[in-house]
Amino acid sequence: MRQAAVRLHDVSIAYDRAFAVQGVSGSFEPGSLTAIAGPNGAGKSTLLKAVMGELSLSSGSIEGGTSKDARFGYLPQAAEIDRHFPLTVADTVMLGMWGQTGAFGGVSREAARKGRDALQSVGLEGLERRHIGTLSAGQFQRVLFARLLLQDAEIIMLDEPFTAIDAATTRDLLDIVKHWHGAGRTVIAVLHDFDQIRAHFPQTLLMARRPICWGSTEAALTPENLLRAKTMAESLHGHPLDEGFAA
């Protein structure tokens, strides 16, 4: 049996005595392409950050990586990134080489070539010197995908990667996601568009703080499960930690 890329054991995360995520168990298998879906406030982004090690667990455990040196690539929500920082497109993309060059490593000719290739892959060749603050939302998301391409990660985590961007950019970035999947990388994405999930993501974790269904997208996104997720999310809103939650 193949070792899971990421395995969750009864994972719970709480803020201010209220559960944001409770009792999630399952595996993101190597090479899988999985959407994390659910209503607003369902804990999707919280779970992703916990897998990345950015949040502490209240209980449970997470085993990450197909090997001890498994590499993660992470795309946060665009709203979490300060675009006023004085960086050019090229500077931002080359941050994807950080793990290989270190904080003070110089950019070699080979690294610079990879940066140009990554920008070409996302359709931004010629914009290397543009300040990131002057880019449209779609252009900036392309820059972030180019940075991920340079990271060459085994496990790629995307938090709402297609929110508030144009249809052409979404289509191009989905092609990159499909390429990662075809290359055997593990891709996990927080998404809201159920039609998009059905069309492009074969696996889905549907949750409303607690897991509703984790399996094939066809099995997860049934009308019954979607209604259950919506009803559960509404019933759990604001419940304190010591009251627990009704299934």
User: Does a structural domain hold residue 184?
Assistant: yes
Q: How many domains does the chain have?
A: 2
> Quick one: pLDDT band at residue 241, thresholds 50, 70, 90?
very low
pLDDT of residue 202: 98
Residues 67, 186: one domain? Answer: yes
User: Does a structural domain hold residue 163?
Assistant: no
191-209 per-position pLDDT tens digit:
999 999 999 999 999 999 9
User: Does a structural domain hold residue 169?
Assistant: no
User: Does a structural domain hold residue 196?
Assistant: yes
Residues 124, 141: one domain? Answer: yes
60-72 per-position pLDDT tens digit:
999 986 444 457 8
Q: Is the pLDDT of residue 104 over 90?
A: no
Indicate which CATH number applies to the domain containing 21.
3.40.50.300
Residues 61, 83: one domain? Answer: no
138: three-class secondary structure by DSSP: helix
Residue 208 contacts by C-beta under 8 Å, 6 or more apart in sequence? 38, 39, 42, 43, 228, 229, 230, 232, 233, 236
Q: What are the DSSP calls for 139-173, one per residue?
A: HHHHHHHHHHHHHT-SEEEEESTTTT--HHHHHHH
pLDDT of residue 1: 44
Q: Is the pLDDT of residue 128 over 60?
A: yes
Residues 44, 81: one domain? Answer: no
CA distance 23 to 8: 9
46-100 per-position pLDDT tens digit:
999 999 888 999 999 999 864 444 578 999 887 677 777 788 999 899 988 765 5
Going 218 to 220 to 223 to 226, the CA torsion angle's sign is negative
Residues 125, 186: one domain? Answer: no
User: Does a structural domain hold residue 161?
Assistant: no
Domain that holds residue 21: 1-71+177-247
Q: Is the pLDDT of residue 143 over 70?
A: yes
pLDDT of residue 106: 58
Residues 54, 107: one domain? Answer: no
Residues 77, 134: one domain? Answer: yes
Look at residues 208, 200, 204 and name the one whose alpha carbon lies nearest to residue 234. 208
User: Does a structural domain hold residue 244?
Assistant: yes
User: Does a structural domain hold residue 166?
Assistant: no
Residues 59, 77: one domain? Answer: no
Residues 77, 66: one domain? Answer: no
Per-residue H/E/C for 90-114? HHHHHHHHHHHHCCCCCCCHHHHHH
> Quick one: pLDDT band at residue 30, thresholds 50, 70, 90?
very high
